[in-house]
Amino acid sequence: MNRTVYVCCGTGCLANNSMEVYEELKKLIAKYEADAEVKTTVKATGCNGLCEKGPLVKIQPDDICYSKVKARDAEEIVTKTLINGEIIDRLLIFDTAKGKKVISHKETDFYKSQQKIALRNIGEIDPVNIDDYIERGGYEALRKVLFQMTPEEVISEVERSGLRGRGGGGFPTGRKWRQCDSIDSFPKYVICNGDEGDPGAFMDRSIMEGDPNTVIEGMTICAYSIKSNNGFIYIRDEYSLALKNMDTAIKQVKERGYLGKNIMSSGFDFDIQIVRGGGAFVCGESTALMQSIEGNIGEPRAKYIHSVEKGLWGQPTVLNNVETWANISEIITKGSEWFSSIGTSSKGTKVFSLVGKVKNTGLVEIPMGTTLRELVFKIGGGVIGDKRFKAVQSGGPSGGCIPENLLDLPVDFDTLKDAGSMMGSGGIIVMDERTCMVDVARYYLNFLSEESCGKCVACREGIKRMLELLSDICSGKGSEEDLELLESLCHTVEEASLCGLGKTAPNPVLTTLKYFKDEYLAHINEKRCPAGVCPDLTAYEIDEKLCKGCGVCAKNCPASAISGERGKAHRLDEACCVKCGNCIDNCKFNAVRVKKEVRA
């Protein structure tokens, strides 16, 4: 029996020194292996998803998973678990749903509720070893396409699957391919959009880092179906690991004959080139991205002519995002009926970055139609500190905020759009009672204002004016008339903007106005921030009846505004308070609260 130790070396775990864990395990296993009966291999993998518990170390086939592993734990793992078969209890994953530690990661609700298609290989293979990908069926779909299917049959199979683009717009993938194939103009181009626009999400980057070959295979299958010979993968320059692993994968694929001239001796030629992007948010938009590839400033153009007709260098072009490409080979291998049987009105699965005030943060892949409640409270384990859930923001900076009464909303393209939000790139940010929804809208408008390319007046000036109004409201200078102006500006920007950035920028404002208007009115009429976030409209007080005198609030106060003897009720000096909120966030007895009346 052979054993494999998988060390998560995705971006999140690397930040927690997982590479040191990997190197130490390799060194120690080599040292002890001469005396061991079982041969052990150590592999550095992509993101395992449960970033909150990283670095993760999985041992197979024993099905053991250790969490928050340090390099100093390596020797204990080798001597106790690998050699003697002992379980190290302190390193096991604590499942928040069960309230206990579990041996296998598969036992946790975080993993049990997922169904992985796009992420099927990540965490299970070494991303820079093509043999690992091939052992799990890699490039069999490409072989099937090249030798058993016509281009028309490939497009029809993708159409029947119901796959829609996972980059945000949700356009039917097969229809896009067919439209491009119908244009009798050459050359044609295939593009992978790896310029993940959402700063709070990391789905596409994780796929490029953890399973680059699935992207290459998906693009090559598309190229065969539309008769293209040239492809480009556009990746942000700051995604160094994604760039490195994708570059390594392309070189290995060419060496094996799965890319380049006469692929698999089929007579079909297709090559892929990596293009580094400068990190501009607007370059996540398809036409701006193509402008950037051409060497021009990344600015969008009007869509009266679609990219499938005139895209890159004015030629027919198919552009899909990383996650979309990652689904293609599985659809070809397992069939369109299999894929379309998953999900509800939207087919298949969707990868989400689950972050914010939730216990289990990380990367998840769930069937379309899974409810927000299941995503937040079962997979996510609920709100940190068991505070009251307030909202989720979906779809990145241009997404909307969905309130508690819509928690049973099924997550798919159409229902999110009907609620005023969108699927976007798949970011889900969980918010609790200490989140100010007016400040949330202001935060996203500030980001979008800075990222607007400035080409069209509606986006450039409209977002800036909305931001000014929101800033006034957060500082107590707003009026009810401002709310009417805000809504009017939202609709103008939505209608008149040239690209998706401007057209969706009003979503955070419109949804917070719709679902949390009472918070806006409290800021305007009562000059009070109910969540205690906006400094100009916030004051805190300590309830002496609830205060236990533990001293945690005083210890965490940067301004020394809290005083009192240990074991006795503490007091807060408003004159010294800097409104940081540390006291209310750290109090376990709910003794610190936001005052209902704020001193003028």
Cα angle vertex 232, ends 217, 44, to 5°?
A: 55
The candidate with the shortest Cα–Cα distance to 285, out of 351, 396, 197, is 197
Q: Is the pLDDT of residue 568 over 70?
A: yes
> What pLDDT shows up at residue 209?
96
Give the contacts of 295 (CB within 8 A, at least 6 positions apart).
none
Q: Is the pLDDT of residue 599 over 90?
A: no
DSSP reduced 3-state for 548: coil
Q: What is the pLDDT of residues 413-466, one digit of tens each?
A: 999 999 999 887 788 999 999 999 999 999 999 999 998 888 889 999 999 999
Mean pLDDT of 278-291: 86
Q: Is the peptide bond before 558 cis (omega within 30 degrees of 0)?
A: no
pLDDT confidence band for 35 (50 / 70 / 90): low
CA dihedral 342, 348, 352, 354 (to 10 degrees): -10
> What pLDDT shows up at residue 67?
96
2-112 and 130-338: same fold? Answer: no
Give the contacts of 213 (CB within 8 A, at least 6 positions apart).
127, 130, 133, 138, 139, 249, 253
Mean pLDDT of 238-260: 96
Q: Can you say how many angstroms the Cα of residue 481 is from the centroid of all Cα atoms in its chain?
A: 37
Q: Give the residue ranges of DSSP H helices in 100-150.
A: 109-112, 130-135, 140-148
Give the contacts of 370 (CB within 8 A, at least 6 positions apart).
113, 410, 411
> What pLDDT shows up at residue 395?
86
- Whole-prediction pTM value? 0.93
CATH number attached to the domain at 2-112: 3.40.30.10
Residue 439 and residue 554: Cα distance in Å, rounded? 26
Mean pLDDT of 290-316: 91
**C-alpha distances in angstroms, 345 versus 349, 368, 370?**
12, 8, 11
Mean pLDDT of 229-237: 95
Q: Give the residue ranges of DSSP H helices in 162-211.
A: 173-182, 203-210
pLDDT confidence band for 302 (50 / 70 / 90): confident
Return the CA Rg of the chain.
26
pLDDT confidence band for 600 (50 / 70 / 90): very low
> What pLDDT shows up at residue 565?
92
> What pLDDT shows up at residue 197?
58
Query: Where along the chain do its domains lie?
Result: 2-112, 130-338, 349-432, 437-525, 539-594
Mean pLDDT of 239-250: 96
> What pLDDT shows up at residue 198?
54
> What pLDDT shows up at residue 511?
97
Pick the CATH number of 539-594 from 3.30.70.20, 3.40.50.620, 3.30.300.30, 3.30.565.10: 3.30.70.20
Q: What is the pLDDT of residues 518-532, one digit of tens each?
A: 999 999 999 999 999
> What pLDDT shows up at residue 146?
98
Cα angle vertex 232, ends 226, 233, to 5°?
A: 120
CA dihedral 483, 487, 490, 491 (to 10 degrees): -160
> What pLDDT shows up at residue 335?
97
Q: At residue 159, what is the residue type?
A: E
Residue 437 and residue 428: Cα distance in Å, rounded? 15
CATH number attached to the domain at 349-432: 3.10.20.600
pLDDT confidence band for 34 (50 / 70 / 90): low
Give the contacts of 198 (CB within 8 A, at least 6 positions apart).
353, 395, 396, 397, 424, 425, 426, 427
CATH number attached to the domain at 437-525: 1.20.1440.230
Q: At residue 167, what is the residue type?
A: G
Other beta carbons within 10 angstroms of residue 484's beta carbon come to: 10
Q: What is the DSSP letter of 387?
A: P
Q: What is the pLDDT of residues 145-179, one digit of tens each?
A: 999 999 999 999 999 999 999 987 789 999 999 99
Report residue 311 as tokens: 């895209």
Pick the CATH number of 130-338 from 3.40.50.2300, 3.40.50.11540, 3.30.420.40, 3.10.180.10: 3.40.50.11540
> Which H, E and C letters describe 296-324, residue by residue?
CCCCCCCCCCCCCCCCHHHCCEEEEEHHH
Q: What is the pLDDT of residues 384-398, one digit of tens each?
A: 988 999 999 998 888
Residue 440 and residue 215: Cα distance in Å, rounded? 34
Q: Is the pLDDT of residue 232 over 80?
A: yes
> What pLDDT shows up at residue 201?
55
